[in-house]
Amino acid sequence: MQKLAKRAAQAQRQATRRAIKQIGHDDAGKRSQARQGLKSAVKEVRENLEAARRARREDWELGPLAPKRDLGFNNYGAAQEGARQDWTHGNSNRERPQRIEQRCAWAGGVGQLNLAPQDRVVILDGPDKGKIDRIQRVQLASGTVTLENYHRALTVGVFDDPSRSQAMPISISSIRLVYPLPDPKTGVVRDVIINQLKAVSPNMHSPNMSLDRWQHGKKWDRVVPGLNTVIPWPEVEVPEYEAKKADTVREQVEERTFYYSLLGPPMPDQVLDELRNKYSRFRTRHEKWYVEQKEAEAEANRRRTQLQAASMQTPLDEFHEKQRQLRAAEPEPVLSEDLLEKIGEFMANKQDAALHQDDVSDAASQPSAPQS
């Protein structure tokens, strides 16, 4: 069994080293890919600037004879998809979480983001500044959202595919939530820009608390701190599924088909073998019959080794073996009365010498009397 345990520990160490090495290779590949992507994006931006300068010069010099670049068939003004991506995270992994937290700070932070699809928001930056749109998707990993109608760009694929209008991600810090609230003076309900949201855990009787997994999985209320007004989450349509013949319905999943007691394993042996791979090198727990078999094999190997060593002994090895057997056959030594008396006398002399040494040390430490 020691051999099996040593083999499992060695396999675990080897797997750990391979995993660490693979992680290093993956990180290096990601950094290289990020550098290449950033390089190609910068190159594309420079080409677009040169093309814009050339088009401006042609429009100025040619006038009515200038080419029509806004017809849509020549991909004029379209950007490559690589130029619209954020390549900075490949070289600044330590700064990215702080930057994402700053983007989501006004909406409650990354842990409890108070935004969801179908929320109405207003754009604060860019060419679409001041326009109101709905959130189509929230990318919490990057702190961005995509809108349904605005903040789009004409893009072409890697292989110069036909240009298409594509929704581009916009930072959460560049939008604010819009919700109709009554005016405290006139009482007229109108759209209000909400600059800050706070997550508050509701009580069990709160009408805004939702435990349904289709309600965005939100277990809290979003509140405007200054007004203490709860902003309800947008309504979500529950998708309707039709069970097919090959589907496993919920009743079948929740049906109990296996019963066990404390004296048996928590699941059948066949399931355990599928989960832990009974032939894996990392396995540390084995069946009783397998342990007995391995112990019997180890004992047989030990006896075989002893027989081989005994058949190849020299006369000196035989003499040493005979002396070891004689020493092992001798009884335990017994102390006689004379020997015990001598040991006690020796211990008493040692104790008297130690006491005398302590008295001398105390006398030396006392101050002497002054002389007249």
Q: What is the pLDDT of residues 243-255, one digit of tens each?
A: 888 998 888 889 9
Which amino acid appears at position 36 of this protein?
Q
The candidate with the shortest Cα–Cα distance to 191, out of 128, 133, 141, is 133
Last residue of a domain, one of 202, 219, 235: 235
pTM over cut 0.85:
no
Does the residue 296 lie in any domain?
no
Task: Please compute the mean of the pLDDT values over residues 56-80 and round it to a whole number.
Answer: 71
Among the ranges given (99-103, 192-196, 265-269, 352-356), the one the predictor scored with the smallest mean pLDDT = 265-269
Q: Using one digit for the tens of pLDDT, what is the confidence trace for 313-372?
A: 788 888 888 899 899 888 888 888 888 899 999 999 998 888 888 777 777 666 655 554
Same domain for 10 and 105? no
* CATH number, domain with residue 138: 2.30.30.30
Same domain, 135 and 31: no
Q: Mark out the alpha helices in 63-147 (DSSP H runs).
A: 96-103
Query: Which pLDDT belongs to residue 210?
Result: 56
Residue ending a domain, choose from 206, 235, 264? 235
334 assigned to some structural domain: no
Mean pLDDT of 164-168: 79
- Whether 347 is in a domain gets the answer no
The sheet carrying 170-171 orders its strands as 170-171, 144-147, 132-139, 120-123, 175-182, 189-194
- Does 145 fall in a domain? yes
Strand 152-156 with 164-167, pairing: antiparallel
Q: What percent of the chain has pLDDT over 90?
A: 17
* pLDDT of res. 333: 80
Which pLDDT does position 215 carry in this prediction? Answer: 60
Residues 40, 103, single domain; the answer is no
Q: Which residue has the higher pLDDT, 263 or 29?
A: 29
Q: Same structural domain for residues 224 and 106?
A: yes
Query: 338 in a domain, yes or no?
Result: no
Cα distances (angstroms) measured from residue 73 to each of 49, 159, 169: 20, 16, 25
Round the average pLDDT of the chain to a whole number and report it. 81
Which residues, at least 6 apart from 356, have a Cβ–Cβ distance to it below 8 Å? none
- Residue 52 and residue 143 in one domain: no
- Residue 120 or 284, more confident: 120
- Is residue 5 domain-shared with residue 56, that is, in the same domain? yes
Does residue 93 carry a pLDDT above 60?
A: no
Q: Do 62 and 130 sit in the same domain of this protein?
A: no
Cα separations in angstroms, 93 against 98, 140, 171, 221: 10, 16, 18, 32
Residue 283 falls inside a structural domain:
no
Cα Rg of the chain, angstroms:
41
* Whether the predicted pLDDT of 22 surpasses 90: yes
Q: Could you list the residue range(s) of the whole structural domain that residue 158 is in?
A: 96-235
pLDDT for 89: 46
Per-residue pLDDT, averaged over 104-115, amounts to: 88
Nearest to 177 by CA among 274, 235, 106, 267: 106
Give residue 91's pLDDT. Answer: 46
Tokens standing for 357? 């040494």
Mean pLDDT is highest, among 87-91, 146-150, 226-230, 313-317, for: 146-150
Cross-strand bridge partners of residue 179: 192
Query: Of 90-104, 235-249, 357-371, which gets the smallest average pLDDT?
Result: 357-371
Domain boundary at 235, 260, 276, which? 235
Q: Are residues 100 and 162 in the same domain?
A: yes
Q: Return the percentage of the chain with pLDDT > 70, whole number.
A: 83
270 within a domain of the structure (yes/no): no
With 60 as the cut, is the pLDDT of residue 3 above it? yes
Helix, coil or strand: residue 153: strand
Q: Which one-letter amino acid corresponds to residue 372? A: S
Query: 90-99, 148-157, 201-210, 215-224 — which is least confidently predicted?
Result: 201-210
- pLDDT value for 90: 43
Q: Could you read off the pLDDT of 35-48 as tens digits, one per residue?
A: 988 888 888 889 88
Statement to judge: residues 1 and 129 lie in one domain: no
In a shared domain, residues 219 and 141: yes
Q: How confident is the model at residue 142 (pLDDT cuts 50, 70, 90)?
A: confident
Q: Name the band, by pLDDT with cuts 50, 70 and 90, for residue 220.
A: confident
230 and 104 in a single domain? The answer is yes
Question: What does the alpha-carbon distance between residue 71 and residue 309 come to, in Å, rounded to a whole number?
Answer: 95
**What is the domain count for the chain?**
2
Say yes or no: 62 and 128 in one domain. Answer: no
What is residue 359's predicted lDDT score, i.e. its pLDDT? 75
In a domain, 282, yes or no: no
* 212 vs 129: which has the higher pLDDT: 129
Token readout for 341 is: 């008396």
Of 97-111, 288-302, 323-337, 358-372, the least confident: 358-372
